[in-house]
Structure 1
Amino acid sequence: MNAFRSFDPKCQRSLLSLFIAGLCFWTSITALLPTLPLYVEFLGGTKQQIGWVMGAFALGLLPARFWFGPLADRKSRKLVLLIGTVVAMIAPWGYLWAKSILLMLCLRAFHGISVAAFTIGYSALVADIAPVERRGEVIGYMSLVAPIGMAIGPAVGGSLQMAFGYDPIFLSSAGFAFLAFLGICQVREPQRDQPTAIPSSTSWRQKGLWYFKMLWSPPLRVPAFVMLMVGLIFGTLVTFLPLSVKESGLNFNSGLFYSTAAIASFLVRVPTGRASDRYGRGLFITGGLICYFLAMLLLSQTTKSNIILFAAALEGMGAGIVIPMMITLITDRCLPEERGQFFSLCLTGFDVGIALAGPIFGSIAEQWGYPTIFALDAVLALIAVISFAGFSSKTVPLSLKFAIGQAKDVYSLN
């Protein structure tokens, strides 16, 4: 916490307000994780339809990323955050009235806009404030909002569903989003240089080519691909884990999986963030991806409650290391006035993974069952490890050294 004590009081208040807002926002989002697939099933949805509805979340995320990234750089991080919280307030009210799969799919896509806005605005604003020499530590602390919110949200959502049904879950989700909105209103955004962004008169085709060129640049393409693999794994867990537990006949609240994962994620973020400032980001990203591999391997082999919780802890460790380390890595690799755009492009890989996970793995689950999709997730995690270890730097030997903490990041601007 020494990093925070070095800030002036106004900056400390902004960080505290931002932290509380982030905590409320992620509680709002994750309260629906263990219950929304069951709600879609309650409405009569098949496994594949459940996959489509849950994957539709990323249909709102994907196009919104390309708009909110430049907006955060050109206008305001705070404005983007406010938009995200407003959407998160509105969407759960729609779930209250939705009685068809098509309407649920549309609402879920709309809800995805909230995460696109909030993650870009939040990550960019924290990176603006964090000093270079303690960047990993500050981002590690501030990224705790996601695991803490995930520890609270699924437990609240699962408990409300079991006790009262679905309506109180949607109301509580909207309520937490409103608290997040109030928190963001208290944040003061620091001044920064304006970006040399694409002119507003540029055609959509030219903008698309520019974004693709940036995405394929050496600093971004491997992180984006790794985030694609992580998104596929995360999308599978969000969509199918509650259904897998239900089908197995276990007397197990699937919300405990997400809560256990969140606790594990919480415990690893601060020490790894601080250590990455000293030992580099590569070693920790590699370790986090290995945790993902082991977690998915365990889920594919067993339906015992204690093993599921152990897999949850490993998955939480993987998420708690990989996601904040990737944000820090991208921060190292771009200028302050480009952060919104770089974050939006890197996180697009994660969004695409979530979008594809539901429909693709839903079809696989229909034919071969849930253990098969978790086994495939283990393969994806292994591919991510190999890709990062072999191609994260300018040459394979340099990449391997960076991935095991024996070389610096050649793309870092620091």
Structure 2
Amino acid sequence: MTEKRPIWTKSFINISISTFFIFVVFYALLTYIPIYVMNDLGGTATQGGLAVSAFLVSAIIMRFFAGLILEKYGKRNVLVLSILMFAVSTILYIFVGDFTVLLFLRFFHGIWFSLMTTVGGAIAADLIPPERRGEGLGYYGIAMNLAIVGGPFIALTLLPYVTAQSIFSIFAVIMAIGFLCALSVKLDEVPAAPKEAERKLVFSDFVEKKAVPIGSVAFFVSFAYASIISFISVYAESLGLIKTASFFFIVYAIAMLLVRPFSGRIFDSIGPNVVIIPSLIIFAIGLFSLSQTDSPWMLLFSGALVGVGYGTLLPSFQTLAIQAADKHRSGHATGTFFALYDTGIAIGSVSLGIIAAAFGYSNLYLILAAFILCAVFYYVWVMKKQTKATN
């Protein structure tokens, strides 16, 4: 019997820790920036939303260039540079005193977030034995999921006690630790296929076509998930459950952590459909449960279902996107995947707010539950089409 090759190497641990700190700061800023704009810069809620959007716009744009940059300069070089610049950008918040300057900084910051998260996922995939990639990327995804809890918790806990400059300074220290971990990542780079010295850029330099089908499924799922990120606290407040809402993502994280080790192994040993189809259905049930919520326990139960369902889907989709591409194109595949995923979040955050204003939050979650059930059939169609193409 062949011994399993290890997942938890020193480099894999370090890239996971770096990613965790990146996402802690990302989610902390996502929570804190609108408050900072209104309380410290004298801005409006609309300006606070604009500051969030500027970050996401640059991140999405950079996704399409990330694969080309990784291929040209090497994954480890891009990793170190992008985390360094992300840390420097975090430090610069300390000196911001004007909304216009903040807007430019947010756009600049988003560029390095996009590069780092793209290269981080690609490096993690390269470090994991191919036969254990579903399991390994599931573990890697825990870093992002835990940050959903850790980032807002740090920001909101510090808010009543310290100044904005102190909060940004703490974020900078967190990023310094993340940068030190990134320096310890070692990687055997896979050379790309040789190219002519002078040539025109083509579509494949920006997009990995083989990652688009599963990326489109992730787009629809992240579109629905935007309702959780953007509106769960507002919805809970409308139900008189705002105190319970602070525990929603804690329950989400615990549920996700309980199933992640098993779901990754099942993905590798039996196949993706056995993991993804039930996870889509559970996510849909979680959204339906939210639409019917009228008590604290039901809100937390919904959080557990969303954690099991959605928390399993993201690493599973990312694994399929990377597996669909050639190994030296893992950076392009990761960039393409996250471009579609981020676009779903961005569009969902805006359009679902309009739907919620028209029909109410309860009906919004009911509509999205049906939407995700439709996504099950779309996923099955995509996988059948992809299987035919490879045969």
Same topology, TM > 0.5: yes
What's the CA shift string for 1:212-243, capped at 9, x where partnerless?
6x53xxx4333121111122223332222233
1:21 matched to 2:18: yes
- Distance between the aligned counterparts of 1:380 and 1:200, measured in 2? 47
Q: Which residue of 2 aligns with 1:45?
A: 44
- Distance between the aligned counterparts of 1:250 and 1:133, measured in 2? 44
| Pair 1:198–1:327, CA change in 2 (3 A) | farther
SS of the aligned residue for 2:9 comes to: helix
SS of the aligned residue for 1:115 comes to: helix
Shift of 1:299: 2.4
Aligned runs of 1:280-359 on 2, under 5 Å? 280-302=271-293, 304-359=295-350
Q: Which residue of 2 aligns with 1:194?
A: 192
| Pair 1:114–1:255, CA change in 2 (3 A) | farther
What's the CA shift string for 1:27-63, capped at 9, x where partnerless?
22222344445445655534x6655443433201111
- Distance between the aligned counterparts of 1:368 and 1:149, measured in 2? 31
Shift of 1:247: 4.3
What's the CA shift string for 1:75-124, capped at 9, x where partnerless?
22222322432343244445556667665554443333233222221221
Picking from 121, 124, 129, the partner of 2:122 is: 124
- Distance between the aligned counterparts of 2:317 and 2:196, measured in 1? 25
- Distance between the aligned counterparts of 1:227 and 1:144, measured in 2? 17
1:81 matched to 2:79: yes
Picking from 4, 9, 12, the partner of 1:12 is: 9
SS of the aligned residue for 1:252 comes to: helix
- Distance between the aligned counterparts of 1:295 and 1:128, measured in 2? 33
Aligned runs of 1:357-368 on 2, under 5 Å? 357-368=348-359
1:257 matched to 2:248: yes
Q: Which residue of 2 aligns with 1:404?
A: none
Shift of 1:273: 0.8
- Distance between the aligned counterparts of 2:360 and 2:43, measured in 1? 19
Shift of 1:177: 1.8
Equivalent pair of 1:136/1:325 in contact (CA under 8 Å): yes
CA RMSD in angstroms comes to: 3.1
Q: Which residue of 1 aligns with 2:262?
A: 271
Equivalent pair of 2:325/2:333 in contact (CA under 8 Å): yes
| Pair 1:102–1:238, CA change in 2 (3 A) | farther
Instruction: Give the residue type in structure 2 aligned to 1:65.
Output: R
- Distance between the aligned counterparts of 2:347 and 2:200, measured in 1? 30
Picking from 205, 227, 242, the partner of 2:218 is: 227
**Structure 1 gaps, min length 5:** 400-408
SS of the aligned residue for 2:325 comes to: coil
SS of the aligned residue for 2:243 comes to: coil
Instruction: Give the residue type in structure 2 aligned to 1:70.
Output: L
- Distance between the aligned counterparts of 1:98 and 1:374, measured in 2? 38
- Distance between the aligned counterparts of 2:251 and 2:112, measured in 1? 25
Shift of 1:131: 1.9
Picking from 168, 171, 175, the partner of 1:170 is: 168
Give the % identical residues: 25
Instruction: Give the residue type in structure 2 aligned to 1:225.
Output: S
Instruction: Give the residue type in structure 1 aligned to 2:347.
Output: L
SS of the aligned residue for 1:190 comes to: coil
| Pair 1:367–1:23, CA change in 2 (3 A) | same
- Distance between the aligned counterparts of 1:108 and 1:23, measured in 2? 20
Moved more, 192-201 or 319-328: 192-201
**Structure 2 gaps, min length 5:** none
Q: Which residue of 1 aligns with 2:157?
A: 159
- Distance between the aligned counterparts of 1:383 and 1:134, measured in 2? 30
| Pair 1:352–1:279, CA change in 2 (3 A) | same
TM-score, reference length from structure 2 = 0.85
